[in-house]
């Protein structure tokens, strides 16, 4: 029997199937309690050291080297999600700890919310609803998605899903990606353009890139100045992709019409200037929060943990070299 420490807030909360898979495999599951939150590296290091788990099933909390080295029993970190920018992958590899994620489990959920944000921004749905509840009868004049130019930054799985959902609305589509997919561009009828050109020409800009050195702060004050004053920015990827202070300044001054933000550089975003602005739709990192996505993600995470602890090496282990020397095998 292995010990599984769950530091993810959401694993097992919406979809119990993940807990069931782990328990049926004979593993002992322990959760980090609410009294220990919010989690920082020092606090999580102490918890890991005390619990001495074989697997840490993690969420968005920081997992640097000190957390990974806190227990000699730790064999793997399973991310309850897709992005692993919060995990020190190099340190994990050096320490012989497998790191796995749950790829393609939240693609549809995030793409759905992205299109929902587009419609909400263009049609002023949030202020219109608030105004009506306040007893007003103000007719908000909106714009049509089909008459807009939409800029997609990142054409990986989620970006592609957004593009396919937009096909029924038939907007003009522009895209930017370091790795251009010519076949996808031809099939879906969009054009790859330089990032600055995309920002200059788009009415809606949506971000779907991972957080890494090359993308951190990519939507800077200078790049925000390139956007139309009537344009909207949607960030449903990672908060650190955008200079939040610069974005708040542009929104407050009228240099940008509005934004929808599901992610923040610090979460929860208690002091973010974006929360004070009426032209911002702010949500609490709910991109993956559908019943369907949570069940799929929990299943993939739990099955991966069971497989790795049984000596297998699933294809969603991101640092296979960390464990290949131990005689693990592909499932």
CATH number of the domain bearing residue 274: 3.40.50.720
Task: Report yes or no on 168 lying in a domain.
Answer: yes
Phi, psi of 5 (to 5 degrees): -100, 120
Write the Ramachandran bin of 319: left for phi over 0, alpha for psi from -120 to 50, otherwise beta.
beta
Within this chain, do residues 263 and 321 fall inside the same structural domain, yes or no? no
DSSP letters for 101-133:
--TTSSHHHHHHHHHHHHHHHHTTHHHHHHHHH
Using CA atoms, how far apart are residues 276 and 44, in angstroms rounded to an integer?
31
Tens of pLDDT along the chain (331 residues) come to 899 999 999 998 888 999 999 999 999 999 999 999 889 999 999 999 999 999 999 999 999 999 999 999 999 999 999 999 999 999 999 999 999 999 999 999 999 999 999 999 999 999 999 999 999 999 999 999 999 999 999 999 999 999 999 999 999 999 999 999 999 999 999 999 999 999 999 999 999 999 999 999 999 999 999 999 999 999 999 999 999 999 999 999 999 999 999 999 998 888 899 999 999 999 999 999 999 999 999 999 999 999 999 999 999 999 998 876 554 555 4
Q: CA distances (Å), 113 to each of 100, 162, 186, 210, 282, in order?
A: 25, 9, 25, 17, 12
Task: Report yes or no on 262 lying in a domain.
Answer: yes
Beta bridge partners, 149, equal 172
What's the confidence (pLDDT) of residue 252?
98
What's the confidence (pLDDT) of residue 216?
97
Within this chain, do residues 14 and 143 fall inside the same structural domain, yes or no? no
Within this chain, do residues 296 and 317 fall inside the same structural domain, yes or no? yes
Residue 6 DSSP SS3: strand
Within this chain, do residues 101 and 111 fall inside the same structural domain, yes or no? no
Task: Report yes or no on 331 lying in a domain.
Answer: no
Within this chain, do residues 80 and 161 fall inside the same structural domain, yes or no? no
Task: Report yes or no on 277 lying in a domain.
Answer: yes
Using CA atoms, how far apart are residues 205 and 195, in angstroms rounded to an integer?
11
Within this chain, do residues 66 and 117 fall inside the same structural domain, yes or no? no
What's the confidence (pLDDT) of residue 13?
87
Number of structural domains the chain divides into? 2
Yes or no: say if 90 and 317 are a contact pair by the CB < 8 Å rule: no
Within this chain, do residues 115 and 175 fall inside the same structural domain, yes or no? yes
What's the confidence (pLDDT) of residue 270?
82
Task: Report yes or no on 67 lying in a domain.
Answer: yes
Catalytic residues: 238, 267, 285
Task: Report yes or no on 118 lying in a domain.
Answer: yes
Within this chain, do residues 56 and 143 fall inside the same structural domain, yes or no? no
Within this chain, do residues 91 and 116 fall inside the same structural domain, yes or no? no
Within this chain, do residues 174 and 250 fall inside the same structural domain, yes or no? yes
**Domain containing 48: what range?**
3-105+290-326
Within this chain, do residues 156 and 265 fall inside the same structural domain, yes or no? yes
Within this chain, do residues 145 and 270 fall inside the same structural domain, yes or no? yes
What's the confidence (pLDDT) of residue 324?
63
CA angle 262, 30, 317 (to 5 degrees): 60
Beta bridge partners, 99, equal 77
């Amino acid at each position: 029997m292995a010990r599984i420490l769950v530091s993810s807030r959401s694993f097992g909360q919406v979809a119990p199937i993940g807990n069931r898979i782990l328990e049926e495999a004979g593993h002992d599951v322990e959760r980090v309690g609410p009294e220990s939150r919010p989690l920082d590296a020092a606090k999580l290091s102490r918890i890991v050291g005390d619990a001495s788990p074989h697997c840490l099933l993690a969420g968005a909390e920081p997992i640097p080297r000190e957390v990974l080295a806190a227990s000699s029993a730790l064999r793997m970190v399973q991310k309850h999600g897709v992005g692993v920018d919060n995990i020190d992958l190099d340190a994990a590899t050096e320490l012989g700890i497998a790191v796995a994620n749950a790829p393609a489990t939240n693609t549809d959920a995030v793409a759905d919310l992205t299109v929902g944000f587009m419609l909400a921004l263009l049609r002023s749905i949030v202020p219109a609803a608030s105004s009506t509840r306040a007893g007003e009868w103000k007719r908000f004049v909106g714009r049509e998605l089909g008459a807009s130019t939409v800029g997609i930054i990142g054409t990986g799985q989620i970006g592609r899903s957004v593009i396919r959902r937009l096909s029924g609305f038939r907007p003009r589509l522009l895209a930017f990606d370091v790795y251009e997919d010519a076949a996808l561009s031809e099939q879906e009828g969009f054009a790859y353009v330089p990032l600055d050109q995309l920002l200059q020409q788009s009415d809606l800009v949506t971000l779907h890139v991972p957080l890494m050195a090359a993308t951190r702060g990519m939507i800077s004050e200078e790049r925000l100045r390139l956007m139309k004053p009537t344009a909207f920015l949607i960030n449903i990827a990672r908060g650190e992709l955008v200079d939040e202070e610069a974005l708040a300044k542009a929104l407050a001054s009228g240099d940008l019409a509005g934004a929808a933000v599901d992610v923040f550089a610090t979460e929860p975003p208690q002091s973010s200037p974006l929360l004070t602005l009426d032209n911002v739709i702010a949500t609490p990192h709910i991109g993956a929060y559908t019943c369907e996505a949570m069940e799929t993600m929990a299943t993939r995470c739990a099955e991966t943990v069971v497989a790795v602890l049984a000596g297998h090496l699933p294809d969603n282990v991101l640092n296979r070299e960390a464990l290949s020397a131990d005689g693990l095998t592909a499932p």
